[in-house]
Every structure is written in structure tokens, then in C-alpha cells.
Amino acid sequence: MAEINITKENFDEEIRNYKGMPILIDLWAGWCGPCMMLAPIVEEIADEYDGKVKVCKINVDEQPELAMAFNADHIPLLVVVKDGAIVNKAVGVRPKSDILALLGL
């Protein structure tokens, strides 16, 4: 499954009101070097865990209100949401194994 770009317009449908598999949200920016290092890992998880994890991305420059809602003072920020509630967070580049552990996989 491809990563889903989240905006304030689709946030409720894709994240807040979504029930089902866990959601991995990557808060990032195009100018952020560590974000670019993390992007291929997040994309790999989206491909390999299709049907088990919903992977979403929020560009903090394009969606400042969502960035503030997640307290994204530092990026990259990974947030795991299950049934509308935040269950885990991690800041910075992480190896794939750490991200899978955040997701409980």
C-alpha cells in the first residue's frame, strides 16, 4: 500500500475516525536531512506490511496545524495511532527494527 499524504481535510477520515490496523504517521519536511534518510525505511514498511499497517505522511510545512496538534517540535517524528489514540512516538531517524517495535510487530 502506498503511503497516504495527510492534510487537515482528510485527517478525520484517514486517522482520527479510522478503526482497524495501527497507523504509522511520519511527520517530515523536504528540507530535513534526517527525514530524507528515514523516508525509504517508512516506504519499505508501507510495502512490506500492506494490510497490517496503514502508513501516512504529514508534511509539517504544508500542514502546520497538524504539526502543532502532534507537538512536532522536532522532526522526523513517528507517531503510532490505534483507534484514534496515540499509542507511541519517536523522534529522529530509527532503524526499521525500532519502528516495527513501535508498531508492536
DSSP secondary structure of 34-102: HHHHHHHHHHHHHHHTTTT-EEEEEETTT-HHHHHHTT-SSSSEEEEEETTEEEEEEES---HHHHHHH
pLDDT at 2 (0 to 100): 86
Write out the chain's pLDDT in tens, 105 residues: 689 999 999 999 999 999 989 999 999 999 999 999 999 999 999 999 999 999 999 999 999 999 999 999 999 999 999 999 999 999 999 999 999 999 999
pLDDT at 1 (0 to 100): 66
CATH number of the domain bearing residue 98: 3.40.30.10
pTM of the full structure: 0.95
Task: Give the domain extent around 56.
Answer: 4-102
pLDDT at 77 (0 to 100): 98
Determine whether 56 is an active site residue. Answer: no
Determine whether 32 is an active site residue. Answer: yes
How many structural domains compose the chain?
1
21, 29, 32, 87: the catalytic one is: 32
15, 25, 35, 79: the catalytic one is: 35
